[in-house]
Structure 1
Amino acid sequence: MTWTGKNEVVHEPLARDEMEAMLKDVDASYAIRHVPKGAMVIWPGEADDNHYYVAEGSVECFRLDRDGRKKVIDRYGEGMFFGYHILRDDCMPMSTMRCEEDSRLVVIPKESFFKLLHGSPKFADRCVRYLFGVLSMQTNEMLNQSFYDTGQRVPMLLSGLVSERLSEGAFDERGVLIPLGNNEIADMLGVSRNSVTSVVSRLQAQGIVEKQRNALRVIDPERLADIARREQE
């Protein structure tokens, strides 16, 4: 499961042959990089003058605070681009990118990125819509953090993830499986694991979710959605 529910633009993967055709049309160069699971691609505070396309695998984007607490910003699966820090003059990233599995990345140098941006209307359109999605995502998160506590934000997030899984057809008679543990949910929200565990335990006592090993099964999606809606009223 690639978590991208906060930015709808990245739900539109681009086929590799189409991506390579765009590069060829503007005479842009690129390289293929094999990155093993757990290896870093980008570090904050270290300039990186490349843009990236995920040909295989998945990449997690996150930040750590001064206490070492992790906040997941997004995850990128096959057919997705990342590395928009090269729009900055110093090419200085603000987040860490790490491969969640063995991955094959297409590395696009800054010069080639700008060839694409200026020479391919389709690529430019994707970039603008993606960056607007990031702005919308961050604004929404800021408002959620201001208006809702963890007890409210957890069911809101879970309900969103259920909707994403349902759109993928990932459900059966036992409910909807979300292949994320409490740690991953805490990382998404930037809160402590204990606070998430407390909320999940309450939802389990209500018969809405069922805790499994490194996963949650939502057995009553309608009640979860109802709780999420009430929290936002």
Structure 2
Amino acid sequence: MDNKDKLKKRLENIWQPPDFANFFESVIKKPTRLIKKGAVLFNFGDPLNCIYFIQEGFVKLYRLSDEGRETTIYLYGPGNILGIRALTSEDETARHYAEAITDLKMLTIPRWEYLEILTQNPEYVVDLTHTFMQRLNYTERKLEGFIAQDVVTRVAIFLADVIERFYQGGRKGQITLPLKLTHQRISEFTGSFRETITLALHKLEDLKIIKMKRSEVIVLDLAKLEKIARINKI
């Protein structure tokens, strides 16, 4: 199958989610790297000369204010790629910090090599479009939470997003989030103070929507959580 046919086939199934695992593991074939929790993948201002594919674990993308307060911008997890800004921007320096919040298994490839492989596998450019749209949707949801000025809504949006993007099981019954979350971690992701996050989580527990077990979040009623988050399925 030539490049034109491969691209045509992918466009005929454009609604299907990206399969970066197949791309990195069967096309690129790089060795797996093991990264320890707490490791910084890149700092603000560092050159973005690599593309990262996460096989296992989670990475947070964040910024620091002049006062040193951290705001988490995005959560990356299994199946996600990190560093694609370097593919689409003339400024190839990082605008954020990236840190492993769990142990990681990941693959990396130099930017130039990734672009070269895309010329031979143009169907995977469609997957990059999916990735941009996913992040745009996340930004819109997060903005909704800030506009609402309602911390319970912010927390619901965040938890529902983690489930939608990373939970591999069914949607019925109890759902245990695949990422352990402390109150402090949730506050960083939602741009809220830790004390208000604690109150919001207690309210969701009182409503029998979630249950907290140390840093484990168990969703008891996904429908109610999504109703609070006001998620519109397309």
Partner of 2:42: 42
Partner of 1:136: 137
Partner of 1:117: 118
Is the Cα–Cα contact under 8 Å of residues 13 and 78 in structure 1 kept in the other structure? no
1:12-33: per-residue Cα shift (whole Å, max 9, x none)? 45335x4254338xxxxx6764
Task: Mark the CA change 1:218 to 1:46 in structure 2 (over 3 Å): closer, same or farther.
Answer: same
Task: Mark the CA change 1:63 to 1:170 in structure 2 (over 3 Å): closer, same or farther.
Answer: farther
2:184 pairs with 1:183 = yes
Give distance in 1, aligned partners of 2:55 and 2:202. 38
Is the Cα–Cα contact under 8 Å of residues 50 and 83 in structure 1 kept in the other structure? yes
Partner of 2:206: 205
Task: Mark the CA change 1:201 to 1:124 in structure 2 (over 3 Å): closer, same or farther.
Answer: same
Task: Mark the CA change 1:36 to 1:170 in structure 2 (over 3 Å): closer, same or farther.
Answer: farther
2:13 pairs with 1:23 = no
Runs of 5+ unmatched residues, structure 2: 1-14
Partner of 2:12: none
Is the Cα–Cα contact under 8 Å of residues 64 and 70 in structure 2 kept in the other structure? yes
Give distance in 1, aligned partners of 2:146 and 2:117. 36
Give distance in 2, aligned partners of 1:186 and 1:216. 14
Give distance in 2, aligned partners of 1:128 and 1:227. 29
Number of paired residues?
214
**SS in structure 1 at match of 2:41:** strand
Partner of 2:65: 65
Partner of 1:154: 155
**SS in structure 2 at match of 1:191:** coil
1:73-121: per-residue Cα shift (whole Å, max 9, x none)? 3333344321113132231111212223333432211211221333321
Is the Cα–Cα contact under 8 Å of residues 162 and 221 in structure 1 kept in the other structure? no
Question: Structure 2 counterpart of 1:140, which letter?
Answer: R
Runs of 5+ unmatched residues, structure 1: 1-8, 25-29
Question: Structure 2 counterpart of 1:50, which letter?
Answer: C
Is the Cα–Cα contact under 8 Å of residues 50 and 108 in structure 1 kept in the other structure? yes
Question: Structure 2 counterpart of 1:199, which letter?
Answer: A
2:94 pairs with 1:93 = yes
Question: Structure 1 counterpart of 2:176, which letter?
Answer: L
User: How far 1:196 sits from its partner (Å)?
Assistant: 1.0
Is the Cα–Cα contact under 8 Å of residues 165 and 171 in structure 1 kept in the other structure? no
Task: Mark the CA change 1:155 to 1:131 in structure 2 (over 3 Å): closer, same or farther.
Answer: closer
Quote the RMSD (CA, aligned, Å): 3.3
Give distance in 2, aligned partners of 1:160 and 1:55. 19
TM-score by length of 2: 0.73
Question: Structure 2 counterpart of 1:216, which letter?
Answer: V
Note the 1:159-170 alignment, pairs <5 A.
Answer: 159-161=160-162, 168-169=169-170
Give distance in 2, aligned partners of 1:15 and 1:118. 18
Partner of 1:3: none
Give distance in 2, aligned partners of 1:34 and 1:165. 20
Structure 1 range deviating more: 216-225 or 194-203: 216-225
Is the Cα–Cα contact under 8 Å of residues 52 and 108 in structure 2 kept in the other structure? yes
Partner of 2:20: 14
